[in-house]
Each structure stands twice: as structure tokens, then as C-alpha cells.
Chain A
Amino acid sequence: MSLLEIENLSLTIGATPILKGVELTIAPGEVVGLVGESGSGKSMTALTIMQLLPHLARTEGRVIFDGIDILKATEDQMCALRGDDIGMVFQEPMTALNPVKTIGEQVAEGIRWHTKAGRAEAEERARKILDRVGLPEAKFPLSRYPHELSGGQRQRVVIAIACALKPKLLIADEPTTALDVVLQAQILDLLRDLVRENRMGLLLISHDLAVVTEMADRLTILRHGEVTEAGDTARTLSEQQHPYTRELALASMHVPARPKKHLAGSAKPLLEVDGVGRDYPSRRASLFRPAQPIRAVDDVSLTIEPAQSVALVGRSGCGKSTLARMILALDKPTAGTIRFRGEAITGKPEQALKPARRDMQVVFQDPYGSFDPRQKVEKLVAEPLHLLEKQLAKAERREMIAHALDEVGLGPRDMGKYPHEFSGGQRQRLSIARAIITRPKLVVADEPVSALDVSIRAQILDLFAELNQKLGIAYLFITHDLTVARAMADEVLVMHEGKIVERGKTGDVLDHPRSEAAQALVAAAPDLHRAIARKMQEQG
């Protein structure tokens, strides 16, 4: 008997069809992966099960959970189900918790509501479940506030809230997308254990095929609101009967072609970072003791040669982005020097930095936040043009913009649009167009593809590789995702707690990591090949 049965589910919001004839079943103790790219209807499926759909949503079909027809259930019935028999874990642990309530209150809230337990009893149970998800009393008393916890710890609290009442079904919507690979592996382990202990059904929603493969017994692949393929994980992924399944699998393992590999030591360095450190002041522990500064970056040295592609990998909070900002002269190091083309850029006034800025550009992670929503593409992409020696005539300027857009696969017609008229992938192309318009020598890319779908991500990686080959741009990729490093970099630097702990050729570091930090990263990184092989063994 299935725990959840979805039959021929269709969903329209206003006049837009969102889901078309979706079929899905989950048995108790089973993990089902729901895979698809953004906009494919994954989250809407989850929200349908929870009956948390937006207004104007109309559903057809049947959704039976534990003998209850959810599409016909009243709001009162749903309130009793939500949080009690069905738990949900959201993607963003930063916003899924109420910042003004303690974690104890937030976990106990659901327990008190559903079981009518008293405060003391609910707190006792909250204590137990927090202990279970790896937040022991001694270090994490109930009186902690969300802002006192890290991202991974917050996601544990969210899981504790969802699992406090031992739900029959847990829905996890991209539960690890906002976390780095090491935390991701820990959270996935926790979810797997909880499923086993309580014989919960788990609906794991993700765009990451490798994550789902490692976790799920069965998978359902969704595209444009329709199920393209469903079945046992191992069989589905090894046979790859549907072309879209193959497309997804190929895109997740995509390595762009770079015929001209960079030869180390072939030229004099483009960027030299020498013993750079960055301290941040911290709060004083006592009036009489001077504050111990927090060292975000500690004695880091590195060099990048022209046309070389270097990846800086490390867990979140290890100082990668701080280092990137100092290289871009957006932040001042408290120790050491940074030289670009042999000239020191540290401590120079803005005016003197102009030539360096022209040859050093940046691509940010968030394709939504990195554009002024009030400006059109023409102005946005032209932002760095004022760094050029001579001021351009309007026609010349527009031609350069059109050219840059053409190079990233967009057209001149896009000049008159606003950023919100583009998809995530297209925005990242815009971001790259802005970065290459002055023909820089170095582009610093801070997690440039983490926010993108696998197929888009493969395209953007191709674009980076192509521009490297065509224009000889050197890259510094900053990422926690080893597949990006493997696909793009000639050399890998591993950063841990502000220090560079390992460096070497990409293959050497990723295949035979020597330092502990690098080993942890490599072990935690989801790998589709390995995951499929393991599933094949398990499922025969």
C-alpha cells in the first residue's frame, strides 16, 4: 500500500498550465527523487501535496495521502496533516526560520500545536529531536537564536521542526542547494538515517542528479510539468531510455573542450598575491582585554599566469570570497601585497587603479542580484567602458556592446531590455558580457554557475572555456563545487580556514588529495558516475 499516490495530477495557475498528468507514488520508508530543471514544476508538486498553492491555482486528478484525498480535504484537515503527518524542509535555511524566536520555541511550536502537549513536555521533545539531528544540548541550548547558528546548523533545525512529530512523509525541496558540499553530505546522511529510523517516506526534490542518485530508490524526472521518465534509480540512469534523461546526465558531467591547454611557467605571472591577510575586528570579550581580530584570510600567496585558469576551492566561510574582493581591490588587505602585471594594487587611490580595473573583471554568483534592476542592458553591459582611455562615440559604444552580447550568445535586440526580462542563464551571460567588454586579462568568477540548472550550467561553462581559448582570458574560479574545478581549471588551490592548504594540477589534487581539507571536499562531492555505480550494486 502506498503512502502517497498522485494520479494524473494537473495544475493550472490562472491560464498557465503548470503540471500535466503527473503520476507519483511513495511507499513508507522509500526515498523518491523528483528531478527537473527550474520551472519544471517540482516545487509546485510539493506545494500541491501540502495544499499550500497560491491563489488562482486549480488542480485536477487525485492525490491520496494515507487514505485521505488531499485535493478534497478541508483547510482544517490539512492543518492537522501539515507538520504532523507531512513535514517539509525548505531550500533556504536563512529564511525558513523566524529570526526573532529561539530554536527551542520554533521546534516546540509544532509539537504543542499538534499534540496539545504542555510547554515543559514539548520542550523536552524538542530537546530530544534537536539532539537527534546533531545539535546537542550542551552546545546548542534551546535558547539559541537562528542568527547564532551557521547555515548547516540552521538546516538541521529546519529538519528537526519537520521531523519532530515523526511524520509519515517528509518533503525536502532542494534541502542542500544552499550548503557547501561537506555540509550537503552531512545533511543527506542525516535525512537518510531519519528515513530508516522512522520508516518515513521521503520526497527529495533537487536539480542535482548526483545528489538524487545517491539518495533515492526511485526517481521521477519532470520537464515542463510532465513526467518524462520514472523508475528505479539505477535502471533509469544506466539505461537512460528517454533522451531527456540522457541530456540531463550528460549535462551534469559536462566538461567543456579546451584544445589549447595552458602550460605552466610559460610566461611571467599576471597576478601575484604575496602573503596576503585580512583581519576583521571582533567584539571585545572584556573591557580590559583587547579584542582578538578574526582572521578571514591568513598569509595567502598565489600566482596566475596569462590565459591560465585557476580554481580556488573550499567550504563556505573559508575566506574565498574575501580573497577575491581583495584581488579585485574592493577590500584592503591588512597584510601582504597584491601585484597585477607586476604593479602593486594595494593601497592605491581609485584613480590610479583604472588601468588595472580595465584588465580585471568579475562575474558574481547571483545572476539576479548583480544587475541594477532600473537600468537597461545597454547601460549595464557598458558599465566598465568608462575605464577605457578614450571616451567612445555613441555609435562606437553601441557597437562594442552589441559585439560583447554577440560573443556571449545574445543579440543586439537585447540591449533595450531590463534584466528581469531574462532567465537566470541569460543573466549570467549578460554578467559575462559585462566582464569581457573591456577585453580584460583576468576574470574573477565567484561561484559563477552554482545558481544555474545543469543544462544551462554546461552552456555557461562552455562559454567560459570558449572565451578563454578565443581571447586568452585568465580565470580565477571561486567555488565549492569540485565538478566546476575539474571542468575548468588547470590548477586547483584548496583553501581552509583562511589558509591555502594544498595546490597543484587539477587532476593531481582532485584524484589524490593530500591535505585533510581537500580529502573531505573530494569525499563529500557528489559524483554521478560513482553514485550510479553504487546504486547498480545495491539495486542489482
Chain B
Amino acid sequence: MTMRIDLPEETLAGVLAKAFGNRSFLIGLAITLLVVVVALISFVWTPYDVTRLVIADKTQAPSWAHWFGTDHFGRDILSMIMVGARNSIAVALVAVGIGMGLGVPLGAFAAARGGVVDQALMRVNDLVFAFPALLSAIMITAIFGPGAVNAIIAIGIFNIPVFARVARAGALAIWPREFILAARAAGKGMTRIAVEHILPNIATLLLVQGTIQFALGILAEAGLSYVGLGAQPPMPSWGRMLFDAQTRMVTAPWMAIFPGMAIVVTVLGLNLLGDGIADILDPKSRRRR
């Protein structure tokens, strides 16, 4: 028998319509895009060259020539923030990628197997988790030397247990549900169930955690650079700029305020974006809007 099948696919237009009705998504997206665009522009153009030192112009207050002022070497702070943005984004993005890529399968596997395997994996996880993140990052950079790549690896490693935990906790709540039993009765194996049913159900959880970790990654990179273990000069980085500003807080506050604002705004934008995405991807919100 044949049947005419015409049905309303969840179209891209539908998702977009929902996205544009979500305020926190829009604001978050706008901020994040702004940061990304600024980072991209910095590859081709910055107001001033960030490697050129003009000692004559040092610690100048914001003016029409230097919107955000200059630092103690006379470099333009706006230009430095622009170049620093790409450093921050790259470090955080790759670090979250490492954390998700290794942590999620690990957590999902532990939840699926249960018993001794689960316990063993999670205790190792706890051990990694128990190390203060900055300390382990310092350890790694101390062994392999400071630099952006090592900072990425260090931040990535301390992201793994975070994602493993979130994934495991989420998966544990899904496994005993009846629809998993139904899938098993339909003959699906553990891996297939994990990919088809568990992951989509914990995706929002992971996505929200991802944006939080992304924000934390930017903070961690700033922290590492602050103690001198991140990107090395002359490559500007937001954390390093804060470190340089520290002793001149009273005399040249703009040196601290603008990089600090850059961090806060970026982190805020990412968090709003995460919230918005979580709302949009929830199929139950389809009726509400």
C-alpha cells in the first residue's frame, strides 16, 4: 500500500524563528560574535602595531588617538586586547574540545558499564579533579616550558574530569528510564544506545557546561598568563595585561579596566549564549513559543 507522506519537518526556519525569539541567546550571540569578529580583524588590521614600543607615549590615558589608553611600554591597549582575543578564544576552544572529546566518552562509558569499572574510572577522575587546576597547569608548564600550546593542554586536562562527571551523572539518570529498556528490547547494543539516546538527552547539559568551561578556560588562560606561564611576550594576552597593570592600578587604571572588561564581557556573553542554546534545543519549548 502506498500513502502520501507530507509532514512538517523541523525546518531550519523553525529553529531560527525560535532562536530569534530568545533574548539571552541573541545577546549572548551578539557579544560572542563581536569578540570573534574583533579577533579576526586583528589578523589583518589593528590601530597600532602591538610589537612596537613607543616609550614616549607610555601610560597615556584614553584619548582620541588611543581609545583605551597605552601601557607602560607605550603600546595601544585596544590593539592588544584585539590580538589577545584570538589567543584567549583559541586556548579556551581547544581546551574545551580536549575536555569534551575525552571526558564525555569516559563518563558515558563509566555509566554504561557500572560496577567496578565505573568506580575505578571515577576514583581516578576524582584524583585528577582534586588537584587545583592552576597547580596542575603550573606543573605541566613547569615541565614542558611555558607557552600557549602547553597552556592549552594543561587547561584541557583539567576539563576532562568535569565533562566526565557531568556526562556520567546525566547518563546515569537516563539509563534506568523505560525508553532505554525499550531500545534494548529492540536489540540495540550499549554503544548504539549511548549514541542515539543517551547523548542527545545529555547534550544540553554538556552544552551549558561547555560554555561555562569555555568561560572558565578564558579565565584560566588569563590566570596562567598572569603568573607568566601562558602566551609569551611579545604575544599579548588578557591575563598578562592584567598582571602588568597590577602595580600601576592607581596611576594608570585604564590598563586594568579594559582587559578586565574584555574578560568579563566575553565570559558573560558565553554564559548567555549557553543558556539560550539550552532553551532552544529543548523540544518541549516548541509549544511555548
Binding site for B on A (CB under 8 A): 328, 330, 350, 353-354, 357-358, 361-362, 364, 366, 369-376, 383-384, 386-387, 398-399, 402-403, 406, 412-413, 415-416, 418, 420-421, 431, 434
Whether the Cβ atoms of A398 and B8 lie closer than 8 Å is no
Q: Is the CB of A403 within 8 A of B283?
A: no
B residues lining the A interface (CB < 8 Å): 1-10, 177-179, 181-189, 197, 200-201, 203, 283-284, 286-287
On whether the beta carbons of B283 and A373 are closer than 8 Å, the reply is yes
> How far, in angstroms, from A372 to B9 measured CA to CA in the complex?
18
A48 to chain B, nearest CB (A): 26
- Please tell me if the beta carbons of A350 and B189 are within 8 angstroms of each other in the complex: yes
Given the complex of chains A and B, what is the CA–CA distance between A372 and B198 in angstroms?
Answer: 9
- Ordered by A's residue number, 22 sampled pairs between the chains whose C-beta atoms are within 8 Å are A330-B181, A361-B186, A362-B181, A364-B178, A364-B181, A370-B178, A371-B179, A372-B201, A373-B201, A373-B284, A374-B197, A374-B200, A374-B283, A376-B10, A384-B186, A384-B187, A386-B187, A387-B187, A399-B5, A412-B7, A416-B8, A420-B287
Starting from the known contacts A357-B187, A416-B9, A416-B10, 6 additional A-B residue pairs (CB-CB under 8 Å) come to A369-B177, A373-B201, A386-B186, A387-B187, A398-B5, A399-B5
Collect the chain B residues with CB atoms within 8 Å of residue A376's CB: 10
A402 CB contact (under 8 Å) in B5, B9, B201: B5
> What's the nearest-Cβ distance from chain B to residue A116, in Å?
42
The total of Cβ contacts below 8 Å across the A-B interface reads 90
Contacts of B184 in A (CB 8 A): 330
Would A370 and B179 count as touching, CB distance under 8 A? yes
The winner among B178, B181, B187, B201 for most chain A CB atoms within 10 A is: B187
Chain B positions within 8 Å of A370 at CB level? 178-179, 181-182
- Docked pose: A421 CA to B203 CA in angstroms: 21
Whether A399 and B3, one on each chain, are in contact in the complex, defined by CB atoms closer than 8 angstroms, is yes
Question: Which residues does chain B contribute within 8 Å of A434, judged by CB atoms?
Answer: 182, 186
Chain A residues within an 8 Å CB radius of B284:
373, 418, 420
* Cβ-defined partner of A372 (8 Å) among B3, B200, B203: B200
B contacts with A: majority SS: loop
In angstroms, how far is the closest chain B Cβ from the Cβ of A315?
21
Contact of B3 among A350, A374, A402 (CB under 8 A): A402
Nearest A residue (CB) for B186: A384
List of A residues within 8 angstroms of B7 by Cβ: 412-413, 415-416
The contact of A362 among B10, B182, B201, by CB within 8 Å, is: B182
6 A-B pairs closest in CB distance:
A357-B187, A384-B186, A369-B178, A370-B178, A374-B200, A416-B7
Contact B178 A403 (CB under 8 A): no
**Does the CB pair B283–A369 fall under 8 Å?**
no
Distance in Å from the Cβ of A509 to the closest Cβ of chain B? Answer: 28
Taken together as a complex, chains A and B put the C-alpha atoms of A209 and B177 apart, in Å, by 31
CA distance A416 to B6 in the complex (A): 10
- In the bound complex, residues from chain B placing their C-beta under 8 Å from that of A358 are 187
- Contact in complex: A354, B178 (CB < 8 Å): no
| Interchain CA distance A421-B10 in the complex, whole Å | 14
State A366–B181 Cα separation when bound (angstroms).
12
**Smallest distance from the beta carbon of B116 to chain A beta carbons, Å?**
15
CB contacts (< 8 Å) of A330 on chain B: these are 181, 184-185
Shortest beta-carbon distance from B40 to chain A in Å: 34
Determine if A403 and B185 form an interchain contact, defined as CB atoms under 8 angstroms apart.
no
CB distance from B282 to the nearest CB of A (A): 9
B183 partner residues in chain A, CB cutoff 8 A: 372, 383
Structural contact, B188 and A386, CB atoms closer than 8 A? yes
> Would A372 and B197 count as touching, CB distance under 8 A?
yes
Residue of B nearest to A367 (CB): B178
How distant is the Cα of A169 from the Cα of B9 in the complex, in angstroms?
52
Contact of B2 among A369, A373, A374, A399 (CB under 8 A): A399
